[in-house]
Amino acid sequence: MKRFKITALAALAVFAAFAAMAGSASAATIIKLVDPLGQVANGTTITASSTNLKTKTSAGTLECKNNILPTVLQKNGTAAPAGSGTEEKSFGEAVGVEGPCTTTIGPAVITTGNFPWTVSFKESKLAGHTGQGEVLVKATGGTKKVKFTSVFPALGGLTCVFEASKIQSFITLGKPGSPVPVVFNTEKNTTNVFKGAKTNNAACPKTGEIYGEWNLTDANGIVSEE
């Protein structure tokens, strides 16, 4: 009987050890966005902005000096923080004011659609991105696709519409007490290829590949992750 008890206890100990290991391995990484005053509260507007976002097409590269994506944070300090926004601005700059973006075929006025857009964060499980966070921008209105419309005034108002199921970016994750500024790295990859609408003029490129970086801020300053 004594031997049975010892064997049973040993088995329980082994089972507990494996359970602890499994629990540790499956524990989700908590992503907490912070600013200079502490954890960013739900309801706060966080703004992703870029000065080097480009879209590569067969007709050349479209570049907007400014891209601004404000999002109202809805949950933070979880495995999947997220927010929602109702606008995105893509524009160049002419004497300090908003103006058209630039392309190799002339200036382009960019508008966006299918709002609201959601911005969500999670730990990346993708090859080549171990230890990073993944940021996804998706549309929940209209066709449920992130939509950009380019109008070329110099080409008689030629209009080209592009859509994608999502924009995928990656961020560096910090650690508790050691926050890292949030910078979205939008890579050149098949996920970030926008497809031209079937109704587009034949002069419009068939696809556009978006890439660049976004910095994240709120009213208190730089937003970081820890």
Q: Are 126 and 134 in contact (CB under 8 A)?
A: yes
- Summarize pLDDT for 130-171 with one digit per residue, the tens: 999 999 999 999 999 999 999 999 999 999 999 999 999 999
- Rounded Cα distance, 10 and 17, in Å: 11
- Summarize pLDDT for 22-49 with one digit per residue, the tens: 444 457 899 999 999 999 999 999 999 9
The owner of tokens 């400014």 is: 66
Q: How many helices (H) and strands (E) does the chain have?
A: 1, 21
> Rounded to two decimals, what is the model's pTM?
0.86
Q: Could you state, in order of their start, the residue ranges of all structural domains in the chain?
A: 29-225
